[in-house]
Amino acid sequence: MQNEYLLLTPGPLSTSETVREAMLKDWCTWDDEYNKEIVEVIRRKLVTLATKSAGYTSVLMQGSGTASVEATIGSAIPNDGKLLVVDNGAYGARMAEIADYLNIACEVLAPGETSQPSVQAVEEQLQRDSDITHLAVVHCETTTGILNPINELITIAKRYNKVVILDAMSSFGGITMDIGEMGVDFMISSANKCIQGVPGFGFVIAKQSELEKCSGQARSLSLDLYAQWKCMQDNHGKWRFTSPTHTVRAFYQALLELESEGGIEAREARYTENQRTLVQGMRSLGFTPLLNEELHSPIITSFYSPTHSDYQFKEFYNQLKNLGFVIYPGKVSNADCFRIGNIGEVYPSDIKRLIGAVKKSMYWEIVK
């Protein structure tokens, strides 16, 4: 059950041995031991983690995090609705692409991958276009690691009575928030992010009153968010179609371990210390972060690639992997960079070991 290396990526990420061990038993999808004692408990715990406000519920969806984003966009927006997407990275752009695939009317505000969206620009767009009914925004855009000003954006959206869809894929469980206080209508995340489970399903935490409006609106059978929720509500956690049982059981264990760590606040503190240790160590080796310090999240950090002619990301990647660390290529269109994640079963001591491994892997320095 031991791993050969740490995954320093935005997910899948390194999990605890006990989370992996939780997958060593087979489960029946019709059995109360699974549905009532695992699935329903997960659903309740997720809502408790997300908000102290009443009126929220949760639904689990098979597939990747993107599948849950698509289920939400495809179910929440009526035929006469219109979506405004804030796009400052690949995942905002993906929401706009989903809307395009589903023939949903959509406007896009794209401030650039290294800039936070302007609250004023969002308000001006809402003033110009009264047909907009929904706002979709990514909390932590892992294209760069930038953290968007969601409180301010949601406040503006609510001032104009818009429904808010928040992609908190890479932040929920790792950054403290109360979606009820913020006014979020649909929040989407995934099992294999800050809760530190494994891939296989995503989840949506929603205002029940808004979720109930989705009845009959879905543009897909398997991605019908309302139908999935109604089935779980009426059948004590039963999924409409085959449940990813092993992944779900691992997620249950991961939730227990989040509680043991001290909850989201304690996990955020660990991730924040990881990120600070990472940036300090990488700077000491001559690497420069892509973003200004005030834009950083505790989730993932992008660094400019070395400019030396002998540098190749793949070679650097393989050197680090051989030393026990897996990093992530860059995804920014106008900068050559790579990314290092701070989340998962990773601690500041691991980051310090990583810095040592990076120093050993800087082969291009030898030929200067």
Per-residue pLDDT tens digits for 251-293: 999 999 999 999 999 999 999 999 999 999 999 999 999 999 8
- Contact assessment for residue 80 and residue 234, using Cβ atoms and an 8 Å cutoff: no
Say whether both 233 and 356 belong to one domain. Answer: no
Distance CA 25, CA 238 (A): 19
Binding residues: 339
Average pLDDT over residues 9-21: 94
Q: Domain end: 229, 244, 260, which one? A: 260
Express each pLDDT in 96-119 by its tens digit. 999 999 999 999 999 999 999 999
**Averaged pLDDT score across all residues of the chain:** 96
pTM score over 0.75: yes
Residue 281 φ/ψ region, left for φ over 0, alpha for ψ in the -120 to 50 degree band, beta for the rest:
alpha
Query: Does any domain span residue 140?
Result: yes
CATH of the domain at 197: 3.40.640.10
Based on the domain organization, do 240 and 308 belong to the same domain? no
Domain check: are 81 and 152 in the same one?
Answer: yes
**Does residue 12 sit within a domain?**
no
Beta carbons of 89 and 152 less than 8 angstroms apart: no
Report the domain count for the chain.
2
Residue 326 binned pLDDT confidence (cut-offs 50, 70, 90) = very high
Predicted local distance difference test score (pLDDT) of residue 367: 57
Distance CA 224, CA 214 (A): 9
Mean local confidence (pLDDT), 1-25: 92
> Are 209 and 72 within one domain?
yes
Q: How far is CA 207 from CA 3, 187, 236, in A?
A: 39, 9, 19
Q: Looking at the predicted structure, is the pLDDT value of residue 132 above 90?
A: yes
Task: Yes or no: say if 62 and 200 are a contact pair by the CB < 8 Å rule.
Answer: yes
Cα–Cα distance measured from residue 124 to residue 130, given in angstroms and rounded to the nearest whole number:
11
**Domain assignment present for 282:** yes
SS3 call for 15: coil
**Do 307 and 250 have their domain in common?**
no
Q: What is the mean pLDDT of residues 309-315?
A: 93
Domain shared by 205 and 225, yes or no: yes
CA distances from 308 to 242, 279, 365 (A): 51, 21, 8
**Could you say which of 260, 276, 301 is where a domain stops?**
260
Tell me whether residue 10 is in a domain: no
Query: Among residues 239, 260, 281, which one ends one of the domains?
Result: 260
Q: pLDDT tens across 68-94, in order?
A: 999 999 999 999 999 999 999 999 999
Do 161 and 291 fall into the same domain? no
Average pLDDT (150-172) is 98
CA distance 46 to 59: 9
| pLDDT at residue 1, rounded to an integer | 61
Whether 84 maps to a domain, the answer reads yes
Residue 276 sits in the same domain as residue 253: no
CB 40 within 8 A of CB 29: no
The pLDDT of residue 368 is above 70: no
Compute the distance between CA of residue 202 and CA of residue 42 in angstroms, rounded to an integer.
Answer: 12
Could you read off the pLDDT of 42-69 as tens digits, one per residue? 999 999 999 999 999 999 999 999 999 9
Looking at residue 14, its pLDDT comes to 96
Binding residues for substrate: 339
Using the predicted structure, report yes or no on whether residue 3 has a pLDDT greater than 90.
no
Q: Could you tell me the residue range of the domain that residue 346 belongs to?
A: 262-365
Helix extents (H) in the chain: 17-21, 32-34, 40-50, 65-76, 90-101, 119-128, 150-159, 179-182, 208-212, 225-234, 245-261, 263-284, 313-322, 348-361
The answer to whether residue 233 sits within a structural domain is: yes
Q: pLDDT tens digit string along 165-202?
A: 999 999 999 999 999 999 999 999 999 999 999 999 99
Q: Do 92 and 195 reside in the same domain of the chain?
A: yes
